[in-house]
Amino acid sequence: MLRAVKFRAHLHWLDRADQACLFCPAHETYRHFLVDCDFIKDVWSTLHAVTVPLGVTLPATLPGYLYSTPTTASNMHRAAFRYLWPVLRACVWFNVWRVRNDRVFRADLPLPSPWTIAVKAARVAQLHLHHSLVQEPEQPALRRLLRLLAQHEWPRRHLVPRIALLPPPA
6 lies in a domain? Answer: no
Q: What is the pTM of this model?
A: 0.85
110 lies in a domain? Answer: yes
Residue 121 exposure: Cα atoms within 13 Å on the Cβ side: 30
Q: ∠ CA(90), CA(113), CA(26), 5° rounding?
A: 75
- Write the pLDDT tens digit of every residue in 85-127: 999 999 999 999 999 888 888 889 999 999 999 999 999 999 9
Written as tens digits, the pLDDT of the chain (170 aa) is 445 455 544 444 445 556 678 888 887 888 888 899 999 999 999 999 999 999 999 999 999 999 999 988 888 888 889 999 999 999 999 999 999 888 888 889 999 999 999 999 999 999 999 999 999 988 999 999 999 999 999 999 999 999 999 887 76
Q: How much is the pLDDT for 76? A: 86
159 lies in a domain? Answer: yes
Residues 160/150, Cβ–Cβ less than 8 Å: yes
Q: How much is the pLDDT for 142? A: 93
How far the first Cα of the chain sits from its last, in Å, is 42
26 lies in a domain? Answer: no
Q: How much is the pLDDT for 18? A: 61
21 lies in a domain? Answer: no
156 lies in a domain? Answer: yes
Sign for the pseudo-dihedral over CA of 121, 127, 132, 138 = positive
How far is Cα 96 from Cα 3, in angstroms, rounded to an integer?
A: 17
Which residue segment(s) compose the domain that 72 sits in? 33-165
96 lies in a domain? Answer: yes
117 lies in a domain? Answer: yes
Indicate the number of domains in the chain. 1
Q: How much is the pLDDT for 21? A: 81
Q: How much is the pLDDT for 7? A: 52
Q: ∠ CA(120), CA(125), CA(126), 5° rounding?
A: 95
Instruction: Look at residue 20 and give its three-state secondary structure.
Output: strand
| φ and ψ of 27, to 5 deg | -70, 125
Q: How much is the pLDDT for 14? A: 47
